[in-house]
Amino acid sequence: MITLRGLTKRYGDTVAVDGLTLDIKEGQVTGFLGPNGAGKSTTMRMILGLDNPTEGEALIHGKPYSALRHPVREVGALLEAKALHPARSARNHLLSMARTNGIPARRVDEVLETVGLTKVARKRAGGFSLGMYQRLGVAGALLGDPGVLIFDEPVNGLDPDGVRWVRELVRSLAAEGRTVFLSSHLMSEMQLTADQLVVIGRGRLLADARIADLLAQSSRAGVRLRSPQPEGLRALAEKLTAGADVEVEMVGGDEIVVSGRSVEEVGDLAHELGVRLHTLSPVSASLEQAYMELTAESVEYGTASAVFGAQPPVRKAKV
């Protein structure tokens, strides 16, 4: 478990992290999201004792990093994959880490196998691709068999196979009861990998929720209807928009997307009005949409169109 209590970091006038209080629990993958400059790396660095909080604290199993007796055995991290000597082989890099931390050499071969680098273990790391560096960084994080793992952008530079490998690895680490905390800008990947999401913007906590709950709250979740009766569809849209908290988007002449009502409610109303339907299906919000809604206010360098992407927000139909 990682515990943050009022965690704050100021650099001069910049508040990089602003009073974060939350628990990052074991046995699940917690995704860490936020726009560029939101404070994710600074938060991770403070958890790992690489930066000191201005106020508050970050604890691993109840202790600050500096008080851990065997840090590498308690927390493993991948921050900057390329932070190693390029002339060294992958194996020697891990061996020196192992030696410093009293870890047996056979563990080095085990983690090299886990990350799929056995065949290139004796080659100079300087010739590695970014994906191979990432794998080596993950190997270093796993070396001490720690209960807490922190990965900053672990899929950065990986091909689709590598991305899937990271997903399966982090899921299995969480299934073993470990605490897994990872950041990524790849929203679709986060939706597949994480159980819980922590979203920050301008250093502040915007959400700490299960992914399923975030998706359910998104205004983009809704019901899609298609009908061969445009008049009927318009009448249905009119009736729906008369209700509170309902939004209807017209998509061409024969389709609408309704948010704020269930499939059952919309289907029953269509039946009542005698509107024939060719499609009646739930539309789930994507994590990307839910995230955009959460962070729209706190994007440091964004423009309105970058915030909402190509699609405008759902609007009320003009019927």
**Interface of this chain with ligand ATP, residues 13 to 42, rule: CB under 6 A:** 14, 16, 34, 36-42
Please identify, using beta-carbon distances, which residue of 38 and 256 lies nearer to ligand ATP: 38
CB of 40 to ligand ATP, least distance (A): 3
Alpha-carbon span 231 to 73, nearest angstrom:
67
CB of 21 to ligand ATP, least distance (A): 17
- Distance from the Cα of residue 160 to its chain's centroid: 17
- Told to check if 201 binds ligand ATP by CB under 6 A, we report no
Question: 46 and 40 in contact (C-beta within 8 Å)?
Answer: no
Please identify, using beta-carbon distances, which residue of 134 and 227 lies nearer to ligand ATP: 134
SS3 90: helix
CB of 138 to ligand ATP, least distance (A): 19
**Cβ-Cβ contacts under 8 Å for 142 (sequence gap 6 or more):** 76, 111, 114, 115, 149
- Told to check if 11 binds ligand ATP by CB under 6 A, we report yes
CB of 231 to ligand ATP, least distance (A): 50
| Number of helices followed by number of strands (H, E) in the chain | 12, 13
Exposure b/e, 202-236, CB count within 10 A at least 16 = b: bbbbbbbbebeebbeebebbbbbbebebeebbbbb
Contact pattern for ligand ATP over residues 247 through 286, marking x by CB under 6 A:
----------------------------------------
Residue ranges that bind ligand ATP, judged by CB under 6 A: 11, 14, 16, 34, 36-42
